[in-house]
Copies of this chain bind each other. A is one copy, B any other.
Amino acid sequence: MAIYRVLIKTKDKKGLVYKISKIFSDMNLNIISNSEFVSKEYELFFMRSEILGDTLNIEELQSRLQNELPNNSEIKIIDTSKRKKIVILVTKEIHCLGDILMRNVANELDADIVEVIGNYNNLAKIVENFDIPYTTISHENLNREEHSNLISERLEKLDFDYIILAKYMRILPPSFVQKYTTNIINIHHSFLPAFIGANPYKQAFDRGVKIIGATAHFVTNNLDEGPIIEQGVMNINHTYSWKDMQKAGRDVEKMVLSKALKLIIEDRVFIYQNRTAII
C-alpha cells in the first residue's frame, strides 16, 4: 500500500476544503492526514493531504482537482514509494554531512544520497566508506563561474531532487542558482537576518550577543535572503571567543539542517512571498 501526498497551493476562496474533500470522497480515497493553512495577508490557501491506497489514478485526481480549483493553482501529487534523491555539496567541515550520513545509516532519512561533491577531498574516504560516491571538484585556479560550471556538468549526469549545501562555503553564481531554483537548501551559521555574509560568528562576538543560531533556507540570488525553512539557537555568554562560538554552533547547524531536510523530504514546505509555510 503506497502513501500519496496531495499538495495544493491556490488563491483562497470559500468552500475549498469541501470541494477538495468531495473529490477525495467521490474517488473513495482513504485520507490519513490532512492539514490546511490560509495566509490572510496574501489570500492564499495551502493544503497537504496524505492518502493511503495502491489503486490511485493520479491523472484522474490531478485533473479533477484542476477542474474544481482556481486557475493557476499549484497541485502536486507525490507517490511516496519513490524515495527522494539528494546531492550534498561540502567544503571541509564534516559535522552537517556527518549528521546526515548517520541518519541515513539509521534509516531516519527517508531519501537516498546520490552523491557528495566537495571542493576538497578530505571528506572523500569517510563518505565512500558509507558506499556513497564522492566527487572532488577543486576550485583552484578557477573563477566562480568556471568552478560552478564544472559542478553543473557533474550534476547534469545525476538524477536528484534537492541539492543540500552542508557547509558548502562558496557562493554559487546566479547562472547556477537559476538552474535549480527552489531546490537548493543551505545552512547559514547565524539566526538570519542577523550577521549576513562572511564569518557570522566573528560578527556575533563583536556585537556581544547572548544567543547564536543557525538558519536553513532556500538559496536565491540574494545572498542569505532566501525563504527560511528552519532556525535554531543556543545560549552563549561572555566567556565564548568567536572560535568557541564556531565550535558550539556546529551542533545547532547540524540539527537545523537535518530538521529542514526532514521537512523537505516529507513535502511539508510550501514557498510563497519569500517565506515558507510548514504544514
Least CB distance, A134 to chain B, in whole angstroms: 14
Copies of the chain in the assembly: 4
Interface size of A by Cβ–Cβ distance < 8 Å? Answer: 68
Is A219 at the interface (CB under 8 A from chain B)? Answer: no
Least CB distance, A101 to chain B, in whole angstroms: 8
Interface string of A5-33 (1 = CB under 8 A from B): 00000000011011001101100001111
Q: Would you call A126 and B98 a contact (CB within 8 A)?
A: no
Q: How far is the CA of A96 from the CA of B229 in the complex (A)?
A: 26
Beyond A17-B31, A37-B239, whether A228 also contacts B209 by CB under 8 A is yes
Question: Which B residues touch A101, using CB under 8 A?
Answer: 102
Interface string of A82-115 (1 = CB under 8 A from B): 0000000000011100110111011010000000
In the complex, identify which listed stretch (A38-46, A68-76, A138-146) lies at the interface while the others stay far away.
Answer: A38-46
Least CB distance, A191 to chain B, in whole angstroms: 6
Q: Would you call B193 and A247 a contact (CB within 8 A)?
A: no
Instruction: Name which residue of chain B comes closest to A39, CB basis.
Output: B238
Q: How far is the CA of A27 from the CA of B240 in the complex (A)?
A: 29
Q: Would you call B40 and A238 a contact (CB within 8 A)?
A: no
Q: How far is the CA of A273 from the CA of B273 in the complex (A)?
A: 39
Q: Would you call B36 and A25 a contact (CB within 8 A)?
A: no
Is A194 at the interface (CB under 8 A from chain B)? Answer: yes
8 A Cβ contacts from A183-218 to B:
191-195, 207-211, 213
Q: How far is the CA of A279 from the CA of B238 in the complex (A)?
A: 9
Is A276 at the interface (CB under 8 A from chain B)? Answer: yes
Q: Add 18 more A-B contacts to A94-B102, A191-B209 (CB < 8 A).
A: A17-B31, A95-B108, A98-B105, A99-B99, A108-B247, A129-B130, A191-B191, A191-B211, A193-B195, A207-B275, A208-B228, A208-B274, A208-B275, A209-B231, A210-B228, A211-B213, A211-B231, A238-B279
Question: Which B residues touch A118, using CB under 8 A?
Answer: none
Question: Which B residues touch A21, using CB under 8 A?
Answer: 15, 17-18, 21
Give 28 pairs: A residue, B residue, CB < 8 Å, sorted on A: A15-B21, A17-B31, A18-B21, A37-B239, A93-B106, A94-B105, A98-B98, A98-B106, A99-B99, A105-B126, A108-B250, A126-B129, A129-B129, A191-B209, A193-B194, A193-B207, A207-B228, A208-B273, A208-B275, A208-B276, A210-B228, A211-B232, A237-B278, A238-B275, A238-B276, A238-B279, A251-B258, A255-B255
